[in-house]
Amino acid sequence: MLALYTNLSVRLRGDEKGATAVEYGIMVSLIAVVIIVAVTLLGGTLLDTFTQVQCSISGGDFTERAGDVAASCAP
């Protein structure tokens, strides 16, 4: 009877490793989705920021985004 209990407990402990791997997989997937959403939502803003920095370094005049017209830098 003790051998049966020992075998059962060993099998149950072994199954936890698989469950842990699945949990980590789900966590990684959710983190990837959050990163994709953040980059998608902030992409235009980041592009404008980098364009403004590039324009400031080159000494030009930065024109902000207006509607569908992208931000630009005039020398």
Give the H/E segment covering residue 61.
Answer: strand 61-63
CB 55 within 8 A of CB 61: yes
pLDDT of 11 higher than 70: no
pLDDT, tens only, 62-75: 887 766 667 778 87
pLDDT, tens only, 23-34: 899 999 999 999
Strand partners, 69: 66
Structural domain boundaries, residue 25: 2-74
Domain count, the chain: 1
Rounded distance between C-alpha atoms, residue 71 and residue 56, angstroms: 13
Q: Which tokens hold the place of 49?
A: 């920021």
Rounded distance between C-alpha atoms, residue 60 and residue 75, angstroms: 4
Mean pLDDT for the stretch of residues 31-58: 88
pTM above 0.75, yes or no: no
Mean pLDDT for the stretch of residues 42-48: 80
CB 61 within 8 A of CB 74: yes
